[in-house]
Amino acid sequence: MSDKRVRVRFAPSPTGGLHLGGVRTALFNYLFAKQNGGEFVLRIEDTDQNRYVEGAEQYIIDCLNWCGITPDESPVNPGQYAPYRQSERKSLYRQYAEQLVMQGHAYYAFDTAEELEKYRKDIPNFQYGQVYRDGLRNSLSLPQHEVDQLLADHTPHVIRIKIPADQSVGFTDMIRGRVTFETNTVDDKVLLKADGMPTYHLAVVVDDYLMKITHAFRGEEWLPSAPIHLLLWEYLGWKADMPQWAHLPLILKPDGHGKLSKRDGARLGFPVFALDWDGTQGFNGMGFLPEAFVNFLALLGWNDGSGQEIFTLEELVEKFSVERINKSGARFDFEKAKWYNAEWIKKATAESLQPKVKEILSGKGINVTDDARLLTIIDLIKDRCVLLPDFYQQSSYFFHIPAAYDLNAVTPKWTEEKTAFFKSFIEQLKATPTLIAADTETAFKALTEEKGFKIGDVMLPFRIMLVGGKFGPHVFDIAALLGKDETINRIEQALVAFTS
């Protein structure tokens, strides 16, 4: 690795919700930077003002903060390379585009959108490049005096890179090894638009150079752009400072065919955004812990080779290695994502979960006043919860009597003897000063034996009396938390429902 201080950047466009593939790119940048004692930079690539979406930049920042991968430098925490929005760096780019024109590596193109549209319609697979450029309206094909006049008249124009013919350009990707491209397949991309804004191609090279970026992790969909960027680094005289690139594998649809999209999430019922966006539920809104989301994302296309699956962010920083990133796409598995979340809920302390659980219960009309009791409830049920909203279903019976009972599980085998058993049990409870789980279980089992029942004959009905269905933690722990009076009340109410 270079002696330079490691500096990486995540450079999204604020054009909508941040897809989980984008968050994974940010995460891998973060892990690499932190492992190497470097800096993680957020740069907002907002040069395409037509696609700019209000609120998208803040959403990106919120997503990274939620994941715990807050950048060292960003528009909200600028460092020495500010500004960090490309729209605020607009004045920087023209000088480099003009420099390329002066050197003969770029040219002015005056073609109108209508003219180009006609070419695309008339010529199959039309590309603005070495095959057709001499017959188009640009500074390579027009006389110099005409070019000078067009510029003096402020005729709208763009600046395009002049891709050389018959060359191979390549680089060594940190994941894929040596990658080469034939320049004859590459068109003359626009570098500077008519409004003076740079395109991604120019801006990313200029900004990576000026911000001293040493390593660039980005999705493999950017590989076709690599030859343009390689040439720009060379033409601008910065080749020695070009960052090392790593093109990350795609996140694939659950069936493994094609890149995962927002439409796949809508069709199959899972989120593709970290946080809720524009009415679309994200992982956060569905009830994922950020630790679980980050853990799941890290293992989409990477593993440490040990078989370990549960990693804290600190462990990921320690274990991460570019060599262990897969070249092939990683299939998205929502069931596996939920498994990670269940494991992280189990690992979490009741104290850390309490604010989230309180919010969920409050949303369902349950206002918790006894925090100590809630902590006990959380510890009792967290192993049964996969998503945070499950805490309501798994705990609601602690706060109000069941609105309905699973009668099909009880009434077909209900007998007068069972009614008598529970009436005797009520009398035992009334005589007990305090309901303690272990003592109550011992007394319940003794009464079961005395009355000639098998434990299963009366244990399930008892559970349904307390919670309404065949779920929940150990039934005597539930009874102890409900307390003697409430347990008796629920048995009495259930007996009415079971025998009516």
Per-residue pLDDT tens over the stretch 280-304: 999 999 999 999 999 999 999 999 9
Query: In degrees rounded to 5, what are phi and psi of residue 302?
Result: -145, 150
Please tell me the distance from the alpha carbon of residue 188 to that of residue 130, in angstroms, as a whole number.
8
Please tell me whether 413 is known to bind a ligand. Answer: no
Could you tell me the two tokens for 68? Answer: 């715990």
Give the per-residue pLDDT at 1.
46
CATH number given to 349-395: 1.10.8
Please tell me the distance from the alpha carbon of residue 215 to that of residue 201, in angstroms, as a whole number.
17
Per-residue pLDDT tens over the stretch 315-367: 999 999 999 999 999 999 999 999 999 999 999 999 999 999 999 999 999 99
3 pLDDT more than 90: no
- Whether 356 sits among the annotated catalytic residues: the reply is no
Strands 244-248 and 215-219: parallel
398 pLDDT more than 90: yes
CATH of 401-500, one of 3.20.20.70, 3.90.550.10, 3.30.1360.10, 1.10.10.350: 1.10.10.350
- Helix (H, G, I), strand (E, B), or coil: what is residue 422? helix
Per-residue pLDDT tens over the stretch 228-246: 999 999 999 999 999 999 9
What's the gap between Cα 67 and its chain centre? 8
Query: In degrees rounded to 5, what are phi and psi of residue 37?
Result: 65, 30
Looking at residue 311, its amino acid is: F
Query: What would the mean pLDDT of 421-429 be, rounded to a whole number?
Result: 98
DSSP at 274: S
CB 296 within 8 A of CB 321: no
Give the per-residue pLDDT at 500.
85
265-300: burial string, b at 16+ Cβ within 10 Å, e else? beeeebbbbbbbbeebbbbbbbbbbbbbbbbbbbbb
When pLDDT is cut at 50, 70 and 90, the band that residue 49 belongs to is confident
Query: What would the mean pLDDT of 358-383 be, rounded to a whole number?
Result: 97
Per-residue pLDDT tens over the stretch 73-105: 999 999 999 999 999 999 999 999 999 999 999
202 pLDDT more than 70: yes
Q: Which residues, including other chains, have CB under 8 Å from residue 57's CB and lie 6 or more apart?
A: 14, 44, 46, 75, 85
Please tell me the distance from the alpha carbon of residue 115 to that of residue 474, in angstroms, as a whole number.
75
CATH number given to 7-75+202-251: 3.40.50.620
The answer as to CATH 1.10.260.40 being correct for domain 262-348 is no
Please tell me the distance from the alpha carbon of residue 442 to that of residue 440, in angstroms, as a whole number.
5
Give the per-residue pLDDT at 36.
97
Query: What would the mean pLDDT of 9-26 be, rounded to a whole number?
Result: 95
Percent of the chain with pLDDT over 70: 99
Beta carbons within 10 angstroms of residue 242's beta carbon: 20
* Choice among 193, 259, 262, 356 that is catalytic: 262
Q: Which residues, including other chains, have CB under 8 Å from residue 342's CB and lie 6 or more apart?
A: 385, 386
The pLDDT mean for the chain works out to: 96
**Residue ranges of domains in the chain:** 7-75+202-251, 91-201, 262-348, 349-395, 401-500
CATH number given to 91-201: 3.90.800.10
212 pLDDT more than 90: yes
Give the per-residue pLDDT at 262.
84
68 pLDDT more than 80: yes
Give the per-residue pLDDT at 41.
98
Task: Name residue 180's beta-bridge partners.
Answer: 170
Look up tokens 């940190």; give the residue.
174
Give the per-residue pLDDT at 177.
97
Query: What would the mean pLDDT of 438-464 be, rounded to a whole number?
Result: 97
400 pLDDT more than 60: yes
